[in-house]
Amino acid sequence: MSGSDIIFFEVSLIISTFLCTLVSGFIFTYAIVVMPGLSKLSDKDFIRAFQVTDGIIQNKQPLFMLTWLGSIISILCLILSSIISVGLHESWLVLFISVSYLLGVQGITIFIHLPLNKNIQKLVVDETKIQSFTEQRVYFENRWVTFNFLRTFVAICVSVSLLFIATLQ
């Protein structure tokens, strides 16, 4: 294990901890502020408000994209640097935490939230019947909020775990 391997690991750990914690804060804010706030709106206003906020993300807001995609890249670098610096056998904790993040945060986003968001984005608010708003909202909101709480829990656990590993260094 060379000095540069250790530096690569430590830098990967710091960047991963920082970016994953930012992502945690983002989805935590949706869990405790944004979605509860939107839930107070009428069905039509809820859908329109979500379309607008999600539209900013879908338009690839640069700082959001840097943070979100950066967290994925940094976690992959953390896995690689951990295996290089201490070996596969000793990297089990970093691997577990990293895979938890990739599946429990990014996987839920890709397989649950993005399809739900796409369906909401397709609705033409001014042309949709009021009953359809209710049906769309109930399906969307219940599923979205439930899985957001799950990914928020995983993200916070990952951030705390990465901080714990950083304190051991």
pLDDT tens readout for residues 83-96:
998 887 789 999 99
Contact 75, 102 (CB under 8 A): yes
Six-digit token pair at 169? 């260094």
Amino acid identity, residue 164?
A: F
Report the pLDDT averaged over residues 159-167. 96
Q: What is the mean pLDDT of residues 119-125?
A: 91
* Domains in the chain: boundaries: 3-168
> pLDDT class for 125, splitting at 50, 70, 90?
confident
Length of the chain: 169
pLDDT in the model for residue 57: 94
Looking at per-residue confidence, does 3 or 112 come out higher? Answer: 112
Q: Residue 38 in contact with residue 166, Cβ under 8 Å?
A: no
**What is the structure's pLDDT at 124?**
86
Rounded Cα distance between 88 and 91, Å, is 5
Query: What single-letter DSSP state applies at residue 128?
Result: S
Q: What are φ and ψ of residue 41, in 5° steps?
A: -85, 160
118 to 13, 92, 140: CA distances (angstroms): 33, 36, 11
Instruction: Please give the torsion angle defined by the CA atoms of residues 7, 11, 14 and 19, in that order, rounded to the nearest 10 degrees.
Output: -160
Q: For residue range 128-152, what is the model confidence (pLDDT) as tens digits?
A: 666 778 888 999 999 999 999 999 9
- Which pTM does this prediction carry? 0.93
Nearest to 143 by CA among 106, 104, 113: 113
Q: What is the pLDDT of residue 130?
A: 67
